[in-house]
């Protein structure tokens, strides 16, 4: 049974380079989409935090001080 015409090594290299180029482009696009999703997630978290602060009737400075004290106390317990 006859096999078709065999590709030269140069053709095989060119084919692999084309495949790799397409994969690199796909990875680049996927990374961009991932960054967009991470940004969306971060914005959603910030919006939730903003709502919590607004609902607390505390100033941003008061919330920051409470969080700082909480972090400092958590560090004391870990030591």
- Number of separate domains in the chain: 1
Residue 62 lies inside a defined structural domain of this protein: yes
Residue 2 lies inside a defined structural domain of this protein: no
Residue 1 lies inside a defined structural domain of this protein: no
Residue 4 lies inside a defined structural domain of this protein: no
pTM: 0.64
Q: pLDDT digit string (tens) for 30-74?
A: 999 999 999 999 999 999 999 999 999 999 999 999 999 999 999
Residue 66 lies inside a defined structural domain of this protein: yes
The answer to whether 15 touches 7, Cβ cutoff 8 Å, is yes
| Cα 23 to Cα 36: distance, rounded to the nearest angstrom | 20
Residue 3 lies inside a defined structural domain of this protein: no
Residue 30 lies inside a defined structural domain of this protein: yes
Instruction: Give the residue numbers spanning the domain of 63.
Output: 9-78
| Helix 9-56, helix 60-78: angle, nearest 10 | 110
């Amino acid at each position: 049974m006859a096999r078709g015409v065999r590709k030269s090594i140069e053709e095989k290299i060119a084919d692999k380079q084309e495949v790799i180029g397409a994969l690199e482009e796909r990875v680049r696009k996927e990374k961009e989409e991932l960054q967009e999703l991470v940004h969306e997630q971060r914005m959603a978290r910030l919006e939730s935090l903003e709502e919590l602060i607004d609902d607390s009737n505390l100033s941003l400075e008061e919330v920051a001080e409470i969080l700082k004290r909480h972090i400092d106390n958590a560090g004391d317990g870990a030591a």
